[in-house]
């Protein structure tokens, strides 16, 4: 039996005083049997992180690791087929590109297992080196968004 793939909405909402660009229409949208990635209804957008990394660098790493986050979610779908929600995460990246700390800011997922898995996976992410540490204040990940 094939398990349905689910997708993650990857948009940044960092707390900086920069006017954010809108999420591009060419963002990857992965449709599945009943779940898909879609832009946030509120028009969430990328905002430059605070520190040495640019928003595009952060987005590139997040996008390249979305499969690992999706695996965290997929694992729980077998026992909770109606599982869906949003996990908002903040994290710090040192100048060498290593995630030094990450935490759940808020979550509507209702699954401590998925939340813990997401944080664990983020600990393995490698960002480009930069001239200063970077702080991403809030980055929402939506799982199981129904269209």
Is residue 2 in a domain?
Answer: no
Is residue 1 in a domain?
Answer: no
Q: Which domain holds residue 83?
A: 8-143
Rounded to whole angstroms, the Cα distance separating 2 from 11 reads 28
Per-residue b or e along 8-47, where b marks 16 or more CB atoms closer than 10 Å to that residue's CB: bbbbbbbebeeebeebeeeeeeeeeeebbbbbeeeebbbb
| Residue 58: pLDDT over 60 | yes
| Residue 15: pLDDT over 90 | no
Neighbours of 58 (CB within 10 A): 26
Is residue 120 in a domain?
Answer: yes
Tens-digit pLDDT profile for residues 64-112 = 999 999 999 999 998 999 999 999 999 999 999 999 999 999 999 999 9
Is residue 50 in a domain?
Answer: yes
Tens-digit pLDDT profile for residues 33-51 = 334 333 233 323 454 589 9
Is residue 28 in a domain?
Answer: yes
Is residue 62 in a domain?
Answer: yes
Is residue 109 in a domain?
Answer: yes
- Of residues 49 and 8, the one with the higher pLDDT is 49
- Helices 55-64 & 66-77 angle (0-180, nearest 10): 40
Is residue 53 in a domain?
Answer: yes
pLDDT of residue 18: 31
Q: How many domains does the chain have?
A: 1
């Amino acid at each position: 039996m094939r398990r349905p793939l689910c997708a993650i909405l990857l948009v940044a909402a960092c707390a900086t005083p920069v006017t954010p660009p809108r999420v591009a229409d060419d963002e990857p949208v992965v449709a599945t049997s009943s779940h898909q990635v879609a832009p946030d209804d509120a028009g969430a957008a990328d905002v430059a992180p605070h520190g040495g990394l640019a928003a595009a660098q952060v987005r590139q790493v997040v996008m390249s690791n979305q499969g690992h986050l999706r695996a965290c979610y997929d694992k729980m779908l077998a026992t909770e087929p109606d599982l869906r929600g949003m996990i908002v995460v903040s994290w710090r990246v040192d100048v060498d590109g290593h995630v030094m700390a990450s935490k759940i800011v808020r979550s509507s997922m209702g699954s401590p297992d998925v939340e813990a898995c997401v944080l664990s996976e983020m600990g393995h992410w490698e960002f480009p080196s930069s001239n200063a540490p970077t702080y991403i204040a809030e980055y929402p990940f939506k799982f199981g968004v129904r269209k």
